[in-house]
Amino acid sequence: MNSIEEAKQAVIEEFSMFDEWLDKYELLIDKGKNLPEYPEDEKTEDKLIKGCQSRVWLNWKLIDGNLVFYADSDAIITKGIISLLIEVYSGKKPQDIAADDFGFIVDIGLKDNLSPTRANGLASMIDRIRTVAAELSGKSEVSETQKS
Q: Based on the number of CB atoms within 10 Å of its own CB, is 13 exposed (0-12), middle (13-18) or buried (19 or more)?
A: exposed
DSSP state letter for 2 = -
Q: Which of 4, 7, 52, 105 is catalytic?
A: 52
Please name the residues in contact with 47: beta carbons below 8 A apart, sequence gap of 6 or more: 57, 58, 59, 146
Q: What are phi and psi of 69, to 5 degrees?
A: -105, 150
Other beta carbons within 10 angstroms of residue 17's beta carbon come to 9
145 annotated active-site? no
Tell me the catalytic residues.
Answer: 52
